[in-house]
Structure 1
Amino acid sequence: MNNKKDESNLTKMHIVDTAIDLFRQRGYYNVSVTDICKASKISRSTFYYYFKSKDEIFDSFLLKPELIIFDKLPSILINSSSYIEQFYQIFETFLKEMMETGPEIFGQVLKRNIDNGDLKILVPYQITMWDIYINLIKKAQEAGEINNPNPPEEIVEAITYITVGISVIWCNKNGSFDLIAKNRQILEALLLVKDELKAKLN
């Protein structure tokens, strides 16, 4: 049973990888389901077994950045000098992975999630990651690293909305500015980060 499940997951991720490569090469709107099937060497029925539509591919694609975060998490937590730096390092790891796909693909991922009413696109889906973000903000408050007194849950949600907005602008401007730096600048203002920590984080 596990072997069949593993094989199914491999097939699904093969389709995802192939589709993303095609999107990068030709542009999202210039790639059809038929193109994906041909490049993946699968039938249309196999494609629709895993995905209802072309844009649903992005849901599975998001699993990869999440896995990268979990792989880097122990190192970030050990080596970062403050709670707020840990937060930034984890959050920006996911953001950087999405940026590497390019403005068009990143923009399509954002569009799909906005259309679905899900603005937590930049917070990995696993509930454990959401809890980690909240816990780090809470510890940063308790340690006096940030002076925003609002509940950590509300702060993390606000960060998500702000970052989605900045990311949409970055995609629309074809990646013409430093998204990481601009996002950090705005989040520092939101969080009311202590001046001495701003110097370390920039």
Structure 2
Amino acid sequence: MALAPKFAGQAYSANVNPKAVHTLELYLDYVCPFSAKMFKTVHTTVLPLLPRKYPSQLSIIFRQQIQPWHPSSTLVHEAGTAVLRLAPDKFWSFSAKLFEQQKDFFDVYVVNETRNQTYRRLAKVAGQAGLDEAEVYGLLEVPDKEVDGGANVGNKVTDDVKLMVKANRLTGVHVTPTVLFNGIVENSISSSFSSEEWETWLDKNVGASK
């Protein structure tokens, strides 16, 4: 599936030739432990392989998959969306920081704080990835009074989140993590894939297409 330019920071590739490229889409939720496990392996071992072993052959897209049974899922993905708005090149590093601290945003650790308090903590995570905390919070903060007569106004990234959710619904993806390879669900890839298993899979499915 195509990626809107405003969300370009979600894609990682190494000198990709658009005429001969595979696409691997990772549907991940920031508060899903299995998503964290997959992301860590991909971020630390798979991404560094691309320029060395698969230059111009593969694009990897991190699709933000909100899981609504965890109320904080919307909030953490709004933070990811704010990072995409402010500094797309820092999206992957921000995601790494957030996954490292994902437990801090599990249900029991957000239930007694306001929405804006959670946003402030998320802005601090973004700060650890090199963004300006105030700018991130400025996109996330929800006003505490009506705006032009409206009381259900969301924040400054609400419209972007709507676009992401609409796009994800078109695929019918439910569980996280889910991986699509060239638009087709790839059930052979699991969150427990080791670095060696990833490299074997990539050699077979990407390297063989040289």
Question: TM-score category by the smaller chain?
Answer: under 0.3
TM-score normalized by the length of structure 2: 0.25
Q: Hey, which of these two has a bigger chunk of helix by percent?
A: 1
TM-score normalized by the length of structure 1: 0.26
Q: Which entry has the higher C-alpha Rg, 1 or 2?
A: 1
Q: Which has the higher contact order (CA 8 A, sep 6+)?
A: 2
Q: Hey, which of these two has a bigger chunk of strand by percent?
A: 2
